[in-house]
Structure 1
Amino acid sequence: MQAYEFINSLIPPLKLTDRAGMALSWMEEIRTDSLPVSDQGRFLGFIGDEVIFEHNDTNQLIGSIELEAGACWVYSDKHIYDVLRVASENQSNLVAVLDRENSYLGVVTMEDAIAAFADSLSIKSQGSVLILSMNMTDYLLSEISRLIESENTKILSSFITNDPLDPDKIKLTLKLDKAELRHVKATLERFGHRVIDHYQEETGISSEEDRIGNLLRFLDI
């Protein structure tokens, strides 16, 4: 799950000597609104179509246009989680990937990163999603796992987020391998755990839209 594994080879870098018109043509062909810019193997930043339209000069050199998100990059051996974090911090749909010598290797798109993230969280697996609220000091996954497994159910993956309504609490999201949650929910509540939401998935082949919906529910967005 390292960044270099998800480099999109279809997105080429622009050079400083390329012209704005060529950048727009590439963006239209690739169906993206920005492209990376590199110079002699060094990543410089991204250029977006809005900036080019503002300059209104297709013959202008890329090197004369101010670039964006020069810090939107990760090292090639970083986890896909780091790609998502950097993309969020820079509000970018692309993240550049560099080797440890700071040489530019390519970019990862958010579409590819989210797909990889979903796979790592077992989003495609049939089952259910359970969300618990608790104090961070009460969080003990081994105990929660023991209770869930006592109902012949397994945790496929877990995810922790801060509770925006209470800084002292966290939300623990669990992906389980069984769709039926009644007994699991009852057992957790009997031992003092607060279940605040749950999603039971129906059997069958999920569409791409369903996968995205499952991911958003898993992240509690």
Structure 2
Amino acid sequence: MIARELISSVPALHPSDAGSKALRLMNEYHLTQLPMVADNKYLALIAEDDILDMEDPETSLQSMENNGNRPAIMEYAHFYEALKLFHDFKLCVLPIVSREGDYQGIITKDTLLDALASFNAVKEPGGILAFEVEPRDYALSEIARIAESNDVTLLSVNTITNPATGKLEVVLKTNRLELQGLVATFERFNYIIKYVYSEEQEEELLKKNYDLLMNYISM
């Protein structure tokens, strides 16, 4: 998924716009930043705080002191790069530009979150299993083989390094809600399971809540 596929229909600001208009647009679209564009060229990313600092919000944006804040992403960049920029610059929107520097539109944080959810199969039904391994022992081919041997499809695989131990935490999103057999197989291959979210846990939680309710009613 590339940046240009995530463009949101949010209007850009113009240097001649008053600060009050910028605030109205930000309020309307529930954003705290908007790009300023002139002649189809991206000029700056205007923040709500910058406008609130103006002595007169009815003056034009071009009268503001330019802080040089111009984060942007190329239109054919992968959305992982957009995710990094959102994190590094604490953004709520990210302007997209072409190779020639023409303004294409923006990515909003909500749009990026939707893309991330789709990319990681968050919306698909299925259980989640996580375990830790030494980086040298991480083998995706073996993990996939174990899943396939249990008739389980891996919808997404994510890893993160634990800074305290240096180990990799591997998180598997599967197409199955029943994961007892898969967990047993991983344990047989000496994988240390950290947590499992599956159908059995959901049923157990419902039963526990039901029992608590019955106990409360009988008091």
Does TM, scored on the shorter chain, surpass 0.5? Answer: yes
Larger Rg: 2
Q: Deviations over 1:44-85 (max 9, x none)?
A: 232122221122411222123245683421111112222111
Instruction: Give the TM-score, by structure 2 length.
Output: 0.85
Aligned-pair CA distance for 1:140 = 0.6
Mapped to 1, the partners of 2:66 and 2:191 lie a distance apart of 50
Q: Which moved more, 1:105-114 or 1:22-31?
A: 22-31
* Structure 2 residue matching 1:55: 3-state secondary structure: coil
| Residue ranges of structure 2 left out of the alignment (5+ in a row) | 204-219
Residue in structure 1 matched with residue 91 of structure 2 by the alignment: 92
Q: TM-score, length-normalised on structure 1?
A: 0.84
Structure-2 separation of matches of 1:191 and 1:35? 52
5+ residue gaps in structure 1?
204-221
Deviations 1:14-41 (A, max 9, x none): 1222211111121122222221112332
Please name the residue that 1:78 is paired with: 77
Identity across the alignment (%)? 29
Give the whole-Å Cα distance in 1 for the aligned partners of 2:191 and 2:66.
50
Deviations 1:77-101 (A, max 9, x none): 1122221111111100101111111
Whether the 8 Å contact between 1:38 and 1:104 is mirrored in structure 2 is: yes
- Please report the RMSD computed on the Cα atoms of aligned residues, expressed in angstroms: 1.9
Which secondary structure does the structure 2 equivalent of 1:92 belong to? coil
Conserved in 1, the CA contact under 8 Å of 2:45 and 2:70?
no
Q: Is 146-155 or 46-55 further displaced after alignment? A: 46-55
**Closer/same/farther in 2, CA of residues 165 and 67 from structure 1, 3 Å limit:** farther
Contact preservation (8 Å) 1:47, 1:68: no
Contact 1:72 1:87 in 2 (8 A): no
Bigger mean CA deviation after superposition, 57-66 or 176-185? 57-66
Aligned residue for 2:135? Answer: 136
Q: 1:93-108 counterparts in 2 under 5 A? A: 93-108=92-107
Partner of 1:147: 146
1:6 aligns with 2:11: no
Is the Cα contact below 8 Å between 1:46 and 1:68 reproduced in 2? no
- The 3-state SS of whatever aligns with 1:117 is helix
- How many positions carry a matched residue from both structures? 201
State how far apart, in whole Å, the 2-side matches of 1:130 and 1:68 are.
46
Worse overlay, 42-51 or 142-151: 42-51
